[in-house]
Amino acid sequence: MARKYFGTDGIRGRVGVEPMTAEFALRLASAAAQVLAPQGGRVVIGKDTRVSGYMFESALEAGFVAAGMDVQLLGPLPTPGIAYLTKALDADVGVVISASHNAYYDNGIKFFDAEGTKLPDAVEEQIEQFMSQPAITRDSSSLGRAKRIDSAREDYQRFCLSTVPAGFSLERLKIVLDCSHGAGYKVAPRVMTELGAEIVPIGCSPNGRNINDGCGSTHPELMTVTVKAVGADLGIAFDGDGDRVLMVDHLGRLVDGDQLLYLLAKARFGSGALTGPVVGTLMTNLGLERALGQLGIDFRRANVGDRYVMAMLNETGGILGGETSGHLLCLDKTTTGDGLIGALQVLTVMVETGCSLAELVEGMSRLPQTLINVRTESFIDLDGSTDIQGAIHAVERTLADRGRVLVRASGTEPVVRVMVEGEDEAEVQQLARHLADEIGRIAL
């Protein structure tokens, strides 16, 4: 069954436009309650700093209470913090109100199960089936109750601190910390300060409309400039909901998710703590695969999306995975992608080795990669088009073993994403442009 509302990371869209309306959120809560906790139970709801979060929080609360579930409101908190608290508070369901790295005028809703993990596709499909029905309201004797949990942020902070070694200290490090005016604007600075770091905070003054606006992991330019201006040891940037992290070294060079994954994998492999393969995605830079191969570390690729990375890690017994965008899965520390915990794991390696971030990622060379989006008039069956497959194979023959080609259709809009990666940047750009033009011509 094709999903109508759920994408690769919950439901997301422009606020005020279906499905991101208050009425839809109420029906969604009712449907989720009937699928995930038909006999009633407890749900925790958290959000990021978007102004529309208040509206969706109220609508979801009403839908769950009417369906007979008790609601615990956590307030602004990173997505991984909500995942942790879902399990820690013994809730049946966790709900996050966030559009992650999108601008403030978008919002989204995603769910965690009782273990703090994202729902499988089949469960999301079941929820969608109930969406065609009106929201239910149980008898007054069976209605749920709602309350706010004032200790949520402190509980999550303590959990984050528990993921580093006893006595761990950041006293000698000066860190630029960019929280994207998002959900981590209180948690991250307090955790870093408690560990003794000297922090230079930016993106820590949310007003409901400035989330991800020229800051955070999707706009690291301000962090880069600030690191060099204040002479910091590194910069750390999260996205709006706190599940992604990117860094900048002391020289002002961006360190992406692939490089951070390499650093963590190498350290865990060296200490004997790495189990199973390291998992990336179809978009992961070939440089990571080559660097891990030279160390003798098995590397696998999952479909794009951290939920698919998680699924492959669970299937293979792995503990480390991630995406170029900064989703880092450290399953030996937590149950989901967590920007703050990922950052703490990198900082742990820096402190234990005495090496700078720049030194720790020297063993991985990123290959030039060009991505072009080709907009088409309608959705295209790439596998069923012999002309498109022929164009792809022609570029692959040109690259041979010096690179790779990835062409995939967007699941949410009529767009074909063309990625070419190789050793020569000029050749990569030329081949990507050629292939994108061919696909555009064939799709007409």
Please list the active-site residues. 100
d(CA 190, CA 201): 11
d(CA 12, CA 30): 18
For 214, other C-beta atoms within 10 Å of its C-beta total 12
d(CA 392, CA 27): 44
For 136, other C-beta atoms within 10 Å of its C-beta total 15
d(CA 207, CA 204): 10
Strand, coil or helix: what is 365? coil
The enclosing H or E element of 262 equals helix 257-271
The beta strand positions in 179-277, using DSSP E, are 198-202, 234-238, 245-249, 254-255
Question: Residue 322's beta-bridge partner residues?
Answer: 328
User: 256 CB contacts (<8 Å, ≥6 apart)?
Assistant: 246, 324, 325, 326, 366
Place of tokens 């300060």: 193
Q: Which structure tokens are listed for 60?
A: 């979801």
